[in-house]
Structure 1
Amino acid sequence: MHYVYVLKNRANGEVYYSYTNNLKRCLKDQDIDNKWKFIYCEGYASELNARERERKLKHYGETRTHLKNRIRRSLQL
């Protein structure tokens, strides 16, 4: 499985978008418990699809806006 995930810096609010094929290791490596807050993850069977999604999140503001709206709506349930 391949994952695109989103972290938020607890101190300054910076948002970090990335890809991994080992989510457990990645969260440990990012020091998630102290500096970063895990806020979102998408799973993909295809590495190519996951990397493409990561690229779009990093480089296209409209893609990030759609994701933020999706997260916001899901939290209202």
Structure 2
Amino acid sequence: MAEAEQDSLSLTSLYANASIISHHPTEVTDLVEEIDRLRKAMTETFLHEHSLIADSVVELSRQLDLKINEYMKYVRLSRQEVR
């Protein structure tokens, strides 16, 4: 139950930041959904592999990192535009 609440909170916070990004709202929403999809896939793969260092888990983690960095770039740029 706590994990589901945490997942909901983290996704909610991503969407909250996404709403401040006005120039590319569809791209950001798609990015948030992709981040959530990758996070779930990584979790499921870890549970199946029973290892944080399994190649498949590491690869999903790298993909997730790239998407989170891309998302943070959008957020940072949008905050600079607001100033």
The TM-score normalised by the length of structure 1 is 0.30
Who wins on radius of gyration, i.e. which is larger? Answer: 2
Structure with the higher strand share, 1 or 2: 1
The TM-score normalised by the length of structure 2 is 0.28
Structure with the higher helix share, 1 or 2: 2
